[in-house]
Amino acid sequence: MVRGEKQAGHPLIPHRKYLVLLAVLFAALWVALAIEPRYREDWALENALVVAFAIGIAASHRKLLLSRVSYTLIFLFLCLHEVGAHYTYAEVPYDAWVEAITGSSLNEAMGWERNHFDRLAHFLYGLLMGYPLREFFLRVADVRGFWGYFLPLDFTLSTSAIFELFEWGAAEVFGGDLGAAYLGTQGDIWDAHKDMALASAGALIAMLITAGINAYLQHDFAREWQQHRAKKLRG
A 10 A CB-CB count for 45 gives 19
Gap between the Cα atoms of 202 and 204, Å rounded: 5
Name which of 99, 92, 97 is nearest 118 in CA terms.
92
pLDDT band of 42, cuts 50, 70, 90: confident
DSSP string, 9-24: TS-SS-HHHHHHHHHH
Is 141 part of any domain? Answer: yes
Write the pLDDT tens digit of every residue in 168-211.
Answer: 776 677 666 665 555 555 666 777 888 899 999 999 999 999 99
Residue that wins the pLDDT comparison between 115 and 77: 77
Q: What percent of the chain has pLDDT over 70?
A: 82
pLDDT band of 4, cuts 50, 70, 90: very low
DSSP string, 55-107: HHHHHHTTTS---HHHHHHHHHHHHHHHHHHHH-GGG--HHHHHHHHHSS-HH
Q: Is the dihedral of CA 49, 168, 81, 143 positive or negative?
A: positive
Full residue range of the structural domain in which residue 103 is found: 15-234
Gap between the Cα atoms of 171 and 166, Å rounded: 9
Question: How long is the chain?
Answer: 235
Is 50 part of any domain? Answer: yes
Residue 179 CA from chain centroid, whole number: 23
Is 220 part of any domain? Answer: yes
Is 3 part of any domain? Answer: no
Phi, psi of 124 (to 5 degrees): -70, -25
Question: What domain count does the chain have?
Answer: 1
Q: What is the pTM of this model?
A: 0.83
Is 5 part of any domain? Answer: no
Write down the pLDDT at residue 113. 82
